[in-house]
Amino acid sequence: MQLNFAGREITIKLVYYGPALSGKTTNLKALHELTADDSHGRLMTLETRDDRTLFFDMLPLVFRAGDSPKRPGDRSYTPIDPTMGMSLRLKVFTVPGQVLHGATRRLVLQGADGVAFVADSQLTETENNAASFLDLRANLKELNVAVRDLPLVIQFNKRDLPAIRSDDEIKALARQGREPVFRASALTGEGVVETFFGLLHLTWSKLEAEHQLSRIIGIQPHEFVPVAARKMGIKRDVPVMLQSCLGGNLDFKAKDA
Amino acid sequence: MMQDKAETQSPISDEPLRLEDLVDREALVELCDSFFTLFGIPVRVLSKDGTLLADAAREHDLCGYINTFASGRAACGATVGAVKMSDPHEDDGTLVHPCFSGLEYRVVAIDYDARRIGRFILGPYLPAEVTDVPSSLLELDPNVNEPSAKSLMLKVPRAKQDTVQRVARHLKAALDLILFSGHKTLLTSQMHLLSVRESFRELTEKQARLQEAYDRLRELDRLKSNFLATVSHELRTPLTSIIGYGEMLAEGIAGPLNDEQKEFVGTIREKGEQLLQLIQSLLDMSKLESGTMSVRKERVRIEDVIGEVIKTLTPTARKKGVTLRLEADANLPELRADPERLRQVFINLGDNATKFTPSGGSVTYRVTTLARGSSADEGGFALMSPVRAQIEVRVMDTGIGIPENEREKVFDAFYQVDSSSTREYGGTGLGLSIVKRLVEAHDGTIVVEENTPRGAVFVVSLPVPHGA
């Protein structure tokens, strides 16, 4: 997180991690599609000729939190008006999945406030998922971050394909693990928004606990994620969306109460 | 969440970007020029702090006329200054700034990534609805001539508000695309650099760890050799006494022995000699490994050395029913070598060959001169061949032979092709390892080849010194 009081800005960095071809970029593309045009910038992809991510993809999401509604034509309205709340900048990155880009993955991971791990549901990819998670852990260690301290959600992507790990299996695994688990078909957009808001929620819980960001922004703690969803043009109810999460600890209700 | 120094330098941190870093200054000037050519409206681009980055404008005749009056120059300067300083408000990012001359400026914000990074100014242009010279211009100076001013004013490009707005929107979109591409290129190049740096750092660290491990291993190896040398030396001293006293007993110095006692003492001596030989091998090995084996080179005739070797080995060979032969070219050149070490090499090879050759077989030493390196050309052939003659000694037996995949390994210390053969043929597995090192200490090479129809050939090549 970067806090810029002078510019009234808070930047939160979210990273989509996972094995090669698990659908990280597809998640970002879907997120870009599903959010309102005025809440996101262009999706920047730094890719090689064969459509594989070379360095990263980046989707910037920007909205104002804690402000009063916009008043068109109000000349006193300037970007640095302190009464207008803070500008929330969510920067969503993907890492390159291919094994050889280890150094790049570490660079992108640096400073991440939360990580969504995009796993490939196909049975044949089980080992690659595990290897990529070990890679994540090694890179975090290199960056002096404990996996336990990092907001982390897991997405089982490609639920629309045949020969995948079964729902029952994933449910059972999710119940035993610590991380919230979401199912998705990023290609059709299913589960993408849920995963994103699950991650945002978890990340926000942590940042709020550590920095009392709600006070800085001027917003009620439990309002943040719903406000973010609204600003991003997501019509669905956030708590309902988060119910699609399997197992793990999202900590949403606990913070609410 | 990490906020160390490295992060703020990272290209993917969220530091504000500067317009001047994202666009190429000359390309921006070209873009503005083409807009000016297309629409006739002057275009200026300013960075966030007001630095003029591009200026595509030609002074209107009206402005030239106004500037002939002192008060006109002052008023014009004030207006232009105010326009340059004005910052459009956020809602639509546009500000219309009128001029006392009736003309108009439009200031448009340039935002990137939801942040203000600069602005551009369109104008002055003549708003479509203005038809008369305004009083603000006429009152500037009593000498302002209304008809002239009006005729000049009408020459200024006339534009409707929504046309200017469209032009502004178009320019903004073009700029946005340029900024996005610029940002992407900037990130790509920074990431390239950082990735290379990160990979380099990783490799350097690994390299350092390997070097450390290597140094430690070398140190351990040195300690091992030292230990071996010390222990061998310490073992040899008492053993020499044991053998010596055994000899004295056998010679009857301490009184006569009966036959059985003689036999026992004989066994003690024989086994003692074997042990001494083993210890000597270990000592040689450790000396060779630690590089403390001294090689005293002198002029040597190889056929003499091998002749002596054959004499030494003949009793054993005869006992086994193996014939020893020497086949040497005439006029062999002299070598510069340590004769004692060469003897050790060829005794070892001959002894081995005899050991593995069944009764009725033969062991042949064939000595020839080669004008150049034979089997083991180590490169630089064209340079070396005329000068570097070699003597090749082939020790050929008709024994059990050595399988091809084992031929490299036989020179490893303590290695034996078939460990079960140790019991049958004896030996420590050190002999060939020592031989190889001794040959190498003479800048020579040794390889194993197949003998036909059966058996093995050890080929020793030794360089002949210049002028020999």
Q: What is the pLDDT of residues B417-437, one digit of tens each?
A: 555 555 455 565 678 888 888
Phi and psi angles of residue A143, each rounded to the nearest 5 degrees, phi first: -90, 10
Do residue A107 and residue B191 have CB atoms under 8 angstroms apart? yes
- Alpha-carbon span B352 to B430, nearest angstrom: 12
- Residue B175 confidence (pLDDT): 93
- Residue B383 confidence (pLDDT): 56
Do residue B12 and residue A91 have CB atoms under 8 angstroms apart? yes
Residue A69: pLDDT above 70? no
Contacts of B87 in chain A (CB under 8 A): 78
- Point out the residue among A62, A70, A107 whose CB comes nearest to the CB of B198: A107
DSSP 8-state assignment for residue B400: S
- Residue B53 confidence (pLDDT): 94
- Residue B465 confidence (pLDDT): 78
- Name which of A94-103, A134-143, A146-155, B386-395 the model is least confident about: B386-395
- Residue B373 confidence (pLDDT): 45
Nearest Cα of chain A lies from the Cα of B9 at a distance, in angstroms, of: 11
Q: Is residue A195 within a helix (H) or strand (E), and if so which, with residue range?
A: helix A192-211
- Name which of B107-111, B174-178, B240-244, B380-384 the model is least confident about: B380-384
CA distances (Å), A122 to each of A97, A183, B236, in order?
16, 12, 69
Do residue A89 and residue B114 have CB atoms under 8 angstroms apart? yes
> Radius of gyration (Cα) for chain B, nearest Å?
49
Contacts of B198 in chain A (CB under 8 A): 103-104, 106-107
- Residue A79 confidence (pLDDT): 42
Residue B426: strand, helix, or coil: coil
Residue B89: pLDDT above 80? no
Do residue B187 and residue A41 have CB atoms under 8 angstroms apart? no
Q: pLDDT-derived band of residue B258, with 50, 70 and 90 as boundaries?
A: very high
- Name which of A133-142, A152-161, B367-376 the model is least confident about: B367-376
- Alpha-carbon span A100 to A114, nearest angstrom: 23
Residues A237-251 have pLDDT tens digits of 999 999 999 988 887
Name the residue in chain A with its Cα closest to that of B91.
A72
Nearest Cα of chain A lies from the Cα of B117 at a distance, in angstroms, of: 12
Residue B143: pLDDT above 80? yes
For chain B, percent of residues with pLDDT exceeding 90: 31
Put simply, whether B5 touches A (Cβ < 8 Å) is no
Q: pLDDT-derived band of residue A85, with 50, 70 and 90 as boundaries?
A: low
- Name which of B142-156, B264-278, B452-466 the model is least confident about: B452-466
- Residue B379 confidence (pLDDT): 55
Phi and psi angles of residue A14, each rounded to the nearest 5 degrees, phi first: -115, 140
Q: Regarding beta strands A152-157 and A181-183, do their DSSP bridges make them parallel or antiparallel, or are they unpaired?
A: parallel
- Name which of A82-86, B139-143, B259-263 the model is least confident about: A82-86
Residue A131: pLDDT above 80? yes
Do residue A110 and residue B7 have CB atoms under 8 angstroms apart? yes
- Residue A65 confidence (pLDDT): 66
Residue A257: pLDDT above 60? no
Find tokens 């004013």 and name the residue: B153
Residues B334-364 have pLDDT tens digits of 888 888 888 989 988 888 888 888 888 889 9
Contacts of B94 in chain A (CB under 8 A): none
Put simply, whether B14 touches A (Cβ < 8 Å) is yes
Do residue A104 and residue B16 have CB atoms under 8 angstroms apart? no
Residue A182: pLDDT above 60? yes
Do residue A55 and residue B188 have CB atoms under 8 angstroms apart? yes
Name the residue in chain A with its Cα closest to that of B182.
A44
Question: Number of Cβ pairs closer than 8 Å across A and B?
Answer: 93
Reported ipTM: 0.79
With contact defined as beta carbons under 8 Å apart, do B146 and B138 qualify? yes
Name the residue in chain A with its Cα closest to that of B90.
A78
**Two tokens at B138?**
């006429």
Q: Please give the model's pTM, rounded to 2 decimal places.
A: 0.68
Residue B20: pLDDT above 60? yes
